[in-house]
């Protein structure tokens, strides 16, 4: 893809925007772009530089993402804390064409990496709560203040953030949580001095935090336990990747969301709104708690991936009401007029509560509380799913009595932060 219309090849030390940004190392890539850690010589800070492929449709997509990100940045600054911030944008001409670039705040590793790092075992429920809270505050902000649907929520698109307050601790602030790689740098990028320095700082910060938590059964001193014990990692995160986001009153793409996180109304082409994000959110919460994706549909003999997906949903959640099953533009491909799947006849019902106990060894009370939180989000009727705002009031989050009730009030970000740090102190399971 490093050809005309494709990615822009970057080398460590390359300069952008007339020398303002200096490339340090590759952070990641997506279908549309490569993302680099860059040093901003104007503000003396690290930023993430997203360099889009240069073909016209990618430039168009980048301009769309910029318009979404700028409108997000225009809102109340408080809860936008849980959504990535756009700092700057410019065009960069290289051998493969003209690339639209975005300068974003530099964040840490994705939740996917966190789950991998934890060996797909599922995170402790208190960590899952902390993460869910961050995502929900971000979603509530996007949905209520902007009417924006993210449309591509998944573990890769939620990144960890440093929780250290720059005012209180200028040295440790700016440390983005970068989890230990098993063998050097998985991206095969050059490990620069900067990276080593950042890692050393991150390790030191983690060591300091773990020291404070020693009495809570936290991290041991041996490198082995340090590598895999996530109890000591402060968890805060932000939603990223607005390349597919849209305004609820103007949904332009028919097929949205990454397969495993896709809502039933999208498969059936029955129209969609903000509540598709709530479906994906429930899939994320399950995956964080168990280490497994909630739905992994596969093509089978005589049925499509879509049909398998619908079958998996009904095995977990019960039969889809006939009216919902039969009213989408694609309903006829999958359902007969009684609302039964045409090609997958025998379903094995395994409700979430039982699944959590039997496969994931949850205690009965944990399973009950968690499924009472998740199942309403997985309602086949999109309009019945709780909103992000309602979710934030749910007993599963609020039952943890350290969560302040003013959580969703946009003037009380300090309380939100306090709530999250209270949660951290309660970790001890």
Report how far residue 205's alpha carbon sits from residue 319's, in angstroms, rounded to the nearest whole number: 49
CB of 153 to Mg ion, least distance (A): 11
3-class SS of residue 423 = helix
Q: Are the C-beta atoms of 252 and 157 separated by less than 8 Å?
A: no
What mask, x for binding Mg ion by CB under 5 A, covers residues 216 to 245?
-------------------------x----
Whether 152 is catalytic: yes
Q: Residues 348-367 vs Mg ion: string with x where CB under 5 A?
A: --------------------
**Phi and psi at residue 389, in whole multiples of 5°?**
-60, -45
Q: Which of 153, 157, 151 is nearest to 107 (CA)?
A: 157
Choose the contact partner of 367 out of ligand ADP, Mg ion, none; CB within 5 to 8 A by kind: none
Answer for the pair 326, 389: CB distance below 8 angstroms, yes or no: no
Phi-psi category of residue 337: left, alpha or beta, with phi > 0 → left and psi -120 to 50 → alpha: alpha
Selected from 106, 261, 281, 373, the binder of ligand ADP by CB under 6 A is 106
Query: What is the closest distance, in whole angstroms, from the C-beta atom of residue 103 to ligand ADP in the complex?
Result: 9
Determine if 265 is a binding residue for Mg ion (CB under 5 A): no
Q: Which two tokens stand for residue 105?
A: 């705040």
Site string for Mg ion, 6-45 (x = CB under 5 A): ------------------------x---------------
**Strand pairing class (45-52; 158-160):** unpaired
Which partner in Mg ion, ligand ADP, none is near 128 (CB below 5 to 8 A by kind)? none
Distance from chain centroid for Cα 192:
27
Q: Which of 237, 240, 246, 270 binds ligand ADP (CB under 6 A)?
A: 240
Torsion angle, CA of 279/283/285/291, rounded to 10 degrees? 180
294 interface partner picked from ligand ADP, Mg ion, none, CB below 5 to 8 A per type: none
Catalytic residues: 152
Q: Which residues bind ligand ADP (CB under 6 A)?
A: 27-33, 35, 48, 50, 84, 104-107, 110, 156, 159, 240-241, 243
């Amino acid at each position: 893809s490093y050809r005309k219309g494709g990615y822009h090849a970057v080398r460590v030390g390359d300069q952008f925007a007339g020398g303002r940004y200096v490339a340090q190392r590759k952070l990641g890539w997506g279908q549309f772009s490569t993302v680099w850690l860059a040093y901003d010589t104007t503000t003396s800070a690290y930023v993430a530089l997203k360099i889009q492929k240069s073909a016209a449709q990618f430039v168009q997509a980048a301009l769309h993402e910029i318009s979404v990100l700028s409108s997000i940045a225009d809102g109340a600054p408080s809860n936008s804390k849980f959504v990535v911030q756009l700092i700057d944008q410019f065009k960069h001409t290289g051998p493969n064409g003209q690339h639209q670039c975005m300068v974003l705040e530099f964040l840490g590793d994705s939740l996917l990496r966190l789950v991998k790092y934890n060996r797909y075992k599922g995170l402790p429920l208190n960590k899952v709560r902390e993460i869910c809270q961050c995502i929900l505050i971000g979603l509530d902000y996007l949905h209520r203040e902007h009417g924006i649907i993210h449309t591509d929520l998944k573990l890769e698109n939620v990144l960890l953030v440093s929780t250290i307050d720059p005012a209180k601790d200028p040295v440790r602030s700016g440390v983005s949580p970068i989890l230990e790689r098993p063998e050097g740098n998985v991206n095969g990028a050059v490990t620069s001095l900067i990276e080593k320095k950042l890692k050393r700082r991150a390790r030191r910060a983690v060591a300091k935090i773990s020291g404070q938590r020693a009495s809570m059964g936290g991290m041991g001193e041996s490198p082995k336990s340090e590598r895999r014990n996530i109890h000591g990692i402060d968890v805060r995160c932000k939603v990223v990747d607005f390349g597919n986001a849209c305004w609820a009153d103007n949904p332009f793409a028919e097929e949205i969301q990454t397969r495993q996180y896709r809502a039933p109304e999208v498969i059936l082409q029955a129209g969609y709104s903000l509540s598709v994000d709530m479906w994906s959110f429930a899939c994320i919460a399950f995956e964080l708690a168990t280490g497994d994706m909630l739905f992994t549909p596969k093509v089978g003999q005589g049925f499509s991936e879509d049909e398998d997906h619908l079958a998996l949903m009904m095995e977990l959640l019960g039969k889809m009401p006939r009216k919902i099953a039969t009213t989408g533009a694609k309903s006829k491909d999958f359902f007969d007029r009684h609302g039964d799947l045409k090609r997958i006849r025998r379903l094995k019902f395994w409700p979430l509560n039982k699944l959590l106990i039997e496969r994931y060894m949850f205690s009965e009370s944990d399973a009950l509380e968690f499924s009472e939180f998740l199942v309403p989000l997985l309602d086949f009727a999109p309009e019945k799913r709780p909103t992000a705002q309602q979710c934030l009031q749910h007993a599963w989050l609020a039952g943890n009595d350290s969560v302040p009730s003013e959580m969703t009030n946009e003037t009380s970000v300090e309380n939100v932060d306090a709530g999250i740090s209270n949660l951290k102190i309660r970790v001890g399971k």
